[in-house]
Chain A
Amino acid sequence: MTFETGDRVRVLPAQKPGHVRTPGYLKGKAGWIESVIGAFPNPEELAYGLSGLPERPLYRVGFRQIDLWDDYRGPAEDYLYADIYEHWLEPER
């Protein structure tokens, strides 16, 4: 596992063909690691009948809503969690 709870991370802005479980609205956004969920076979490969191995670390990543949406209508304290695989994350300074 590269990341730990509390680490600041950014979701890669990459465009990747095929089955992807990183939603578009999170790409390029910065947040924090809320928890390490575990390691699982990569769904992007399972989707095509491949083994998905080696397993990839999966994290619960938190984002402030005001960082996700320019027009967010709610307090700055509102946030969102999504479960993101490690290969979609990079450290955020």
Chain B
Amino acid sequence: MGGSPGGRIDRGQHEVEDWERLADAINGALGAKGLQSTDQHRRAIESLAEYRDLSYYERWVAATEKLLVEKGVLTSDEIDERAAEIDRRWNGP
């Protein structure tokens, strides 16, 4: 990344959304309990195939999921299922 060509820097600031605050919090809470580390999280982010297509916190969420699945704490299926339920609740069936 360092030294690659880059365009004009967008100096706009988006309002941090609640889900982004939550992504931060989950990451911090897991770290505080020793369930994941900064280095593990960084490695998981770097390994994302979609790295360049995701926003900063989207990468965080994807990496947190990757680590939780890796450690056998959650499965992607149950996350899919619950996320779909939440989506239905927000958007209607």
Residues of A within 8 A of B1 (CB): 23
Interface residue range, chain A: 10 to 19
Q: Which residues 14-66 of B have a CB within 8 angstroms of A?
A: 37, 39-40, 42-43, 46
* Chain A residues whose CB sits within 8 angstroms of the CB of B39 once the complex forms: 19, 43, 46-47, 52
At the interface, yes or no: B3 with Cβ under 8 Å from chain A?
yes
Interface of B is mostly: helix
Which one of A18, A26, A43, A52 has the greatest number of beta carbons of chain B within 10 Å? A43
A24 to chain B, nearest CB (A): 7
User: Does A75 sit within 8 A of B, measured CB to CB?
Assistant: no
Partner of A69, one of B3, B37, B46: B3
Bound Cα distance from A68 to B3, whole angstroms: 9
Partner of B37, one of A26, A46, A68: A46
Residues of the B chain whose Cβ atoms lie less than 8 Å from the Cβ of A52: 39
Interface string of A61-73 (1 = CB under 8 A from B): 0000000110000
Shortest distance between the CB of A70 and any CB in chain B (Å): 11
Point out the residues of chain B lying under 8 angstroms from A68, CB to CB: 3
Interface residues of A in 5-28 (CB under 8 A from B): 18-19, 23-26
* A19-B46 CB under 8 A given contacts A46-B39, A47-B40: yes
> Is B2 interfacial (CB 8 A cutoff)?
yes
7 A-B pairs in the complex with CB atoms less than 8 angstroms apart: A18-B43, A19-B42, A24-B2, A47-B40, A47-B43, A49-B40, A68-B3
5 A-B pairs with least C-beta separation: A47-B43, A46-B39, A25-B3, A19-B43, A47-B39
